[in-house]
Amino acid sequence: MTGIESGGRSGSSYLDLGLEAKMLALFEDCAATKTESAKNEVGHKAKELERLRAEIDEAMKEAAEARENAGLWGKISSFFGGDVAKLAQLCAAVAVVVGSGGTGAPLVLAGMACLAAAEAGRECGLDPKICTALSLAGAVLCASGGAGVQTTATQASSLFTAIGGGAQATGSAASAVQAQWEAEAERLDAEARLTDAEQEQVLVLIEQAFQRLRRIQSDSERATSVTMKTLQDQHYSQQAVLSNL
Amino acid sequence: MNVAGISFTSASAELAAMVVEHEANQAESDQEQMEAYQRKIEREAEKEYRAAIAAADAGGRAALVGGAMGILSSGATVAGAYESYRSASIQVDSSMSLATQEQLSGQKQELAARAGLFTAAGTPFQALNPMAQAFGGGIEKERQQARAQQSARTIQQMQSEADQLAQQARRSEQRSDAALDHAAKFVESDNARANAVLSNF
């Protein structure tokens, strides 16, 4: 069997064997070649599996980093587009109210309420047309409240409005960057999923190679057992013939 | 009496061989089907990947459009506020000559009008932002996401079918093994009978 395990025997070395033994030896030769091939396949696929796993790990790590970046830009967007812009709008409204000596307060407050309602409506999924109408109404009311306001107050209000606008622009830009990072994370997730599917395929192939190995082993055991039994039977029959001769 | 080109002397051994051949053929056919399923799964995974990438790209585009609209809207607000500031900075005093007063008032009104124009110009950008985002990639993103989800569902279904086939193939192999064992026993009993005949000869 040593010769067979090390890659098979040449056909000429079977000459000294009987028919059944020759067949068994040939079968074992064939089984050894198949085993070698299946083992090589398992080894090759195991390396491929390792590479794919590393790729998945890498993609997942990069996706996590992209999500972290998206989170950071989301915070920046929420800070500028939310907190700073709202505070600036509030300051602008206060400046108008103070500048008008309180006379514009009802209009400005109504305008602010309309603006706040429009924003809340947008977040709650209210009809965009209604939200736009509320925004427009808010802007008009605020502007009307500012009519006849003292010059310094108007300047302060304009300044705060400009700050609010700038903050909103920064928030919009940050939001766009955040979405780009989120898209990158989605791309990396898709790559990881594709590699995972490839990994599944490789696992199936490895399982098939193992099945082949088990099959070859069981076939080999069966062939050996049948050949031994046949040889034994032949031996008995020869003895029987000889003893009855 | 022959199965797969081999002739059998015993009917029972032949029957066992037929079972073995049938089950082996079945296992082979199951295996082929399974391989076909694997190829289909591979193609579907590729489709899912492409759809997911397209969805991500569309999402990125929509965000860029949204960002640009937001910047335009805020830009208009800032420009309006600047014009308003400039308008408020113009001081019209009664000590000035009438012509100067008229000129400054005209400038002030002009700047105030421009401020209103800018502020009004910013509103449509803000109002149309969701729509622009939807046309700029939002709708496409949803469509591609739906395709990717459909592919993922198809993959799951095919994987479950492939698993069933693999189980069938394993059962066929087990039956084939059992039939082989039976065949070996039949051959053994044939041999034993022959030996008995010979020893009593």
Query: How far apart (Å, rounded) are the C-alpha atoms in residues A45 and A62?
Result: 25
pLDDT top residue among A139 and A71: A71
A179 in contact with B at a CB cutoff of 8 Å?
yes
Report B:3-32 residues touching A (Cβ under 8 A): none
d(CA B74, CA B79): 9
Q: Do A194 and B49 touch (CB under 8 A)?
A: yes
What confidence tens digit (pLDDT) does each residue in B20-42 have?
777 778 878 888 888 888 889 99
d(CA B97, nearest CA chain A) in Å: 21
Q: Is A217 on the interface with B (CB under 8 A)?
A: no
Pairwise pLDDT comparison (B180 vs A77), residue with the higher score = A77
Inter-chain touch B59–A190, beta carbons under 8 Å: no
Chain A residues touching residue B116 (CB < 8 angstroms): 143
Beta carbons within 8 Å of A86's beta carbon, 6+ residues apart: A164
The ipTM (two decimal places) reads 0.73
- Per residue in A8-19, pLDDT (tens digit) is 444 555 666 677
Point out which residues pair with A243 in neighbouring strands.
Answer: none
Comparing C-alpha atoms, which of A29, A22, A27, A23 is closest to residue A5?
A: A29
pLDDT band at A65 (very low <50, low <70, confident <90, very high): very high
Give contacts of B 53-82 with A, CB under 8 A: 53, 55-57, 59-60, 62-64, 66-71, 73-78, 80-82
Q: What residues of A are in contact with residue B105 (Cβ under 8 Å)?
A: none
Question: Does B104 contact chain A (CB < 8 Å)?
Answer: no
C-alpha to C-alpha distance for B32 and B35, rounded to whole angstroms: 5
Which A positions 72-131 lie with beta carbon below 8 A of chain B? 81, 128, 131
Q: How many other C-beta atoms are found inside a 10 Å radius of the C-beta of residue A52?
A: 19
Q: Do B59 and A182 touch (CB under 8 A)?
A: yes
User: What mean pLDDT do residues A192-219 have?
Assistant: 89
**Model confidence pTM above 0.90:** no
Size of interface A-B (CB pairs under 8 A): 173
- Per the CB < 8 Å rule, is A179 touching B66? yes
Q: Do A154 and B55 touch (CB under 8 A)?
A: no
Chain B contact set for A204 (CB, 8 A): 38
pLDDT of residue A2: 37
Does A175 or A155 have the greater pLDDT score? A175
Asked whether B61 and B142 are in contact (CB, 8 A), the reply is no
Question: Which residues, given as ranges, of chain B have pLDDT below 50?
Answer: 1
CB pair distance less than 8 Å for A136 and B73:
no
Separation in Å, CA A228 to CA A114, A241, B31: 97, 20, 32
Please report, to the nearest 10 degrees, the dihedral formed by the alpha carbons of residues B8, B14, B20, B22 taken in order. Answer: 110
How many separate helices (H) and strands (E) can be counted in chain A?
A: 6, 0
What are the pLDDT digits (tens) for A112-124? 777 777 777 777 7
| Binary contact (B184, A241; C-beta < 8 A) | no
For residue A194, give how far its alpha carbon lies from the nearest alpha carbon of chain B (Å): 6
Alpha-carbon distance of A183 to A190, in angstroms, equals: 10
Averaged pLDDT, A160-171:
88
- CB-nearest to B119 from A139, A168, A189 is A139
Q: Do A158 and B119 touch (CB under 8 A)?
A: no
Q: Confidence band (pLDDT; 50, 70, 90) for A7?
A: very low
B143-174 in b/e form (b: 16+ CB < 10 A) is ebbebbeebbebbeebbeebeebbebbeebbe
- How far, in Å, CA of A149 to CA of A116, rounded? 23
- Mark yes or no for CB contact B38/A201 under 8 Å: yes
| pLDDT value at A1 more than 50 | no
Q: What are B159-168's contacts with CB under 8 Å, separation 24+?
A: B159/A200, B159/B41, B161/B37, B162/B34, B162/B37, B162/B38, B162/B41, B165/B30, B165/B33, B165/B34, B165/B37, B166/B30, B166/B34, B168/B26, B168/B30
How many C-beta atoms lie closer than 10 Å to residue A123's C-beta? 8
Q: What is the spatial distance between Cα B131 and Cα A92, in angstroms, rounded to a whole number? A: 29
- The residue in chain A having the minimum alpha-carbon distance to the alpha carbon of residue B34 is A204
Say if A228 is an interface residue toward chain B (CB within 8 Å): no
Kindly report the nearest CA distance between residue B190 and chain A, in angstroms. Answer: 10
Confidence of residue A62 (pLDDT cuts 50, 70, 90): very high
Which residue from A minimizes the CA distance to B125?
A132
DSSP lists the bridge partners of residue B3 as B6
A244 reaches B (C-beta below 8 A): yes
Distance between alpha carbon A214 and the CA centroid of its chain, in Å?
35
